[in-house]
Chains A and B, each alone.
Chain A
Amino acid sequence: MAGHSDSSSSEKKSSEAMNDVPTFSTENMQNNMKVIYYSRTFMSIIGGVIAGILGFTGFMGFIFYFLVMAITSIGLIAKAKFSVHLYFDSWNRIILDGFMGGLMSFVLFWTFAYDIVHIF
């Protein structure tokens, strides 16, 4: 198992017996997931700072977070030139991945910016 995972870089997941199962290159898939992760993390931090500056409290802040994540998802889909199946194997990856992790960063920077701007 360990030897299987760190062999050649362009390792393909395929089952030669059936042609129905789609094959894809895992290295490129990992690269795409990394791009999504970086984009979402950065945007959740920026969203947190904006929410803190604007003074959102309570539920409004979380609504703002979902708004920022929706805009980021639309941006990522546009970056994938609207043909998501070329770069990912399912829609869930580009829409939902990194959502919950970003929420923690968002809340952290939201409270941080709010404290600095409104409470000092």
Chain B
Amino acid sequence: MGLGFMVGVLGVLFLFHAAYSTIQGLLKIMEEEFSGPPMNVSLIVLDLILWFELLGFVFCISAALTVPGYFLSIHPDSEENRIVSLSANLDFMIFNHRAKALPLETDMKLKH
């Protein structure tokens, strides 16, 4: 779980780096109007940005698929669903039971 989370954070950092590179590239051109897709950024920087984005996307999607947890089988007959338990619900807790009918063990210890 920790590893998946770190991978996701790394992917997001890659995306931030790509955004930063895009801003730097656009600032260099000193354009005042909209440029739409960063076609005016130099080709090398664009290539680097795209690679970072792709890597960031791949890391993020692998984190998105591993961090939230596993799928659990919904068939009641499957092997991992054999043992079922009640949650800690007050309606089903028993506080008044027949243990007082059992012989107390403390008497036996005091005999030593």
Chain A residues near B (Cβ < 8 Å)? 7-10, 12, 23-25, 28-29, 31-32, 34-35, 38-39, 42-43, 46, 49-50, 52-57, 71-72, 75-76, 78-80, 86-89, 113, 116-120
Contact = CB atoms under 8 A, between A and B. Distances in A.
Which of A42, A43, A79 has the largest number of chain B CB atoms within 10 A?
A: A42
A7 B81 CA distance: 18
A50 B14 CA distance: 11
A28 B81 contact: yes
Interface residues of B, number: 42
A7 B53 contact: no
Interface of B: 8, 11-12, 15, 18-19, 22-23, 26, 34-38, 49, 53, 56-57, 60-61, 63-65, 67-76, 78, 81, 84-87, 89, 91-92
Contact of B76 (A25, A52, A53, A118): A25
A75 B71 contact: no
Which of A38, A43, A55, A116 has the largest number of chain B CB atoms within 10 A?
A: A55
9 contacts: A7-B91, A9-B87, A32-B74, A46-B15, A46-B56, A50-B15, A53-B22, A75-B61, A87-B72
Which of B12, B18, B64 has the largest number of chain A CB atoms within 10 A?
A: B64
A9 B60 CA distance: 33
A79 B89 contact: no
A118 B35 CA distance: 8
Given A32-B74, A76-B65, A10 B89 contact: no
A34 B72 CA distance: 11
A43 B15 CA distance: 13
B22 to A, nearest CB: 5
B4 to A, nearest CB: 11
A54 B72 contact: no
